[in-house]
Amino acid sequence: MKKIVKLGLITAISLALLSGCGEPQSFEEGEKAYKNKDYKKAISIFGDLADSGDLKAQIEIADIYYSGIRNAIDIDKEKALKYYEKAALQGDNNSLNRITLNKSKVAFDILSKKAKDGDYDSLHSLMINFPKESIVVLEELANKGDVKTQFMLGDIYINGKEGIEKNLDKATQWYEKSAKENDYISQFKIASKYYEINAQNKYNEWLDKSIYTFNELLGKNDPQTQLNLGLIILNMYLKNMSSFMKENIKDSNEKYLISDYYIQREVLRDIINKIIPNQDNLDKYAISLIEKSVNQNYKDSQIILINLYDNFNFSNGRYYDMTKAVNLYEILAKQGDMEYQSILSREYIKGEHVKQDFEKAFEWAEKSANQGSISGQYNLGVLYFNGKGVEQDYKKAIEYLNQSIDNENAYANLALAFLYYKGDGVEKDIDKAFKLLNDSSDIDPNAAYQLSRFYLQGINTKVDVDKGIDLLEFAASKNMLAAQKMLVNIYKDGLFSQEKDPKKVKYWQDIIKKDIRDTNFDIYKI
């Protein structure tokens, strides 16, 4: 009897111990281990939680494997992708973006489902990242009577895309399907085809249909039709418009007549002549149409008009009004558009077209960053870095700058490099600072300029004057004044064992005199 009791007691104790060992540790414990640089323990905790379905842990461990940890954890993109896929399946959009860029089948499946449920943004992402495979999804939707995808298929086959050959017969087939549903752009394109082959009767038939549909929608103040007509007019009669539109209107899923391709200019001219009785001041009339569309809160028109206001040269002068552009930034920001929230934040930081206001800059940067905007995370990190609009907080600066870098924004490297170089909010690490600058020096002139000093002075690396000057010249070519002045001094005084070179001195002095400032705003000097 005593033996039985003893064995029972032992069994009970053993079960209790096993039960205690089996309890998963919390995410907070994983974070604590990570902060204490016990990375193996952190990964073990995050891994167990991630495998059990914890979304936060899936994202955390994916980020760790994606970026690696110096002298501790090697980069493992395959493992990172596995956990990003798990997070994406739970609805995390940042993880979905990551696996989409990596052409993951899981991404294709998620985007396909969303597209079939009517999400055109997902459909567009599918077309960009999986052009050949997306045809199956497009045709499924088009065969169910979706006019927009019918039109999109027409555009795909008429232009050709990666892995998809041009096919005019298929293009016409899909255009006709959408044309029969009174899609006037498709009707225009069919009319244009008949114009090409000189089938006058067919041309007139489809042109009349398109004009009737067009006028009917204009009479109803349809915002997209107003936008389209405005763009047709501008494209026909203003210099530089065609190239501008190709640069600023790129989405094949939008029904804009953005070029002359496959729509004959003669056809466009016939359309304008039949629709617009008064041909005076057509450019002003076009802008008024787009503004009417904007006043109906039509987002596409707002974006187009912004681009016209801030960077387009009309034939009769510059249609430039940054005050109006910034007003539109604010409208879109208030509608919740995270990228325009970020753009508006930057405008308040610069204070060129609105009164400088760091508190407003912080407000919009925070809203943008919280939605996952890469540029918003960057702006917010820099504001915390400088203590503008918010109390200076290097740790928060590091947090948001790292988020931006993890999302492939190399411009965030410079601020983070400064923090590692000085040891502000983080353990001083000149190796890390050097790597961050090196990783972004090919695109960021500010980073290139700072890195040049490392090579010229032998900071954390061997002196390499040629490399240093190459970096300076890149930064100077991007109109960075500090780099231009440095080159003048080098060639004037023969610094760093360089031969004095009056020609190069004059060259860079002449560039400086032109007073063309760096288009990459130096946000670190705010």
Q: How many domains does the chain have?
A: 3
Cβ atoms within 10 Å, residue 243: 10
pLDDT value of residue 526: 40
Say if residue 406 is in the same domain as residue 371: yes
Say if residue 325 is in the same domain as residue 410: yes
Say if residue 405 is in the same domain as residue 457: no
Say if residue 410 is in the same domain as residue 445: no
Say if residue 387 is in the same domain as residue 469: no
Q: Which DSSP string do the residues of 131-194 spell out, in sequence order?
A: TTTHHHHHHHHHHTT-HHHHHHHHHHHHH-BTTB---HHHHHHHHHHHHTTT-HHHHHHHHHHH
Adjacent-strand bridge partners of 314: 317
Three-class HEC string of 200-253:
HHHHHHHHHHHHHHHHHHHHCCCHHHHHHHHHHHHHHHCCCHHHHHHHHCCCCC
Say if residue 409 is in the same domain as residue 330: yes
Q: Within a domain: residue 399?
A: yes
CATH number of residue 330's parent domain: 1.25.40.10
Q: Within a domain: residue 236?
A: no
Tokens encoding 396: 């928060």
Q: Within a domain: residue 53?
A: yes
Of 235, 141, 145, 221, nearest in space to 188 by CA:
235
Return d(Cα 206, Cα 187) in angstroms, integer: 6
pLDDT digit string, tens, across residues 66-99 = 878 766 788 888 999 999 999 999 999 889 988 9
Burial class, 406, CB count within 10 angstroms (exposed 0-12 / middle 13-18 / buried 19+): middle
If the chain, 526 residues long, is cut into consecutive pieces of 10 residues, what is the mean pLDDT of each piece?
41 38 74 86 91 92 82 85 94 89 92 90 87 90 89 81 79 85 80 82 88 88 88 73 59 44 72 81 84 88 81 51 84 90 91 90 93 90 91 90 83 87 87 90 90 91 92 91 92 92 93 70 44
Return d(Cα 80, Cα 355) in angstroms, integer: 44
Residues in the chain, total: 526
CATH number of residue 42's parent domain: 1.25.40
Coil vs helix vs strand at 314:
strand
Q: Within a domain: residue 371?
A: yes
Say if residue 327 is in the same domain as residue 383: yes
Boundary of a domain, candidates 55, 79, 102: 102
Q: Within a domain: residue 269?
A: no
Domain that holds residue 384: 321-414
Adjacent-strand bridge partners of 73: 69
Q: Within a domain: residue 407?
A: yes
Q: Within a domain: residue 43?
A: yes
Boundary of a domain, candidates 102, 122, 147: 102
DSSP 117: T
Encoded amino acid at 230, one letter: G
pLDDT value of residue 17: 37
Say if residue 374 is in the same domain as residue 452: no
Q: Within a domain: residue 493?
A: yes
**pTM for the structure as a whole:** 0.60
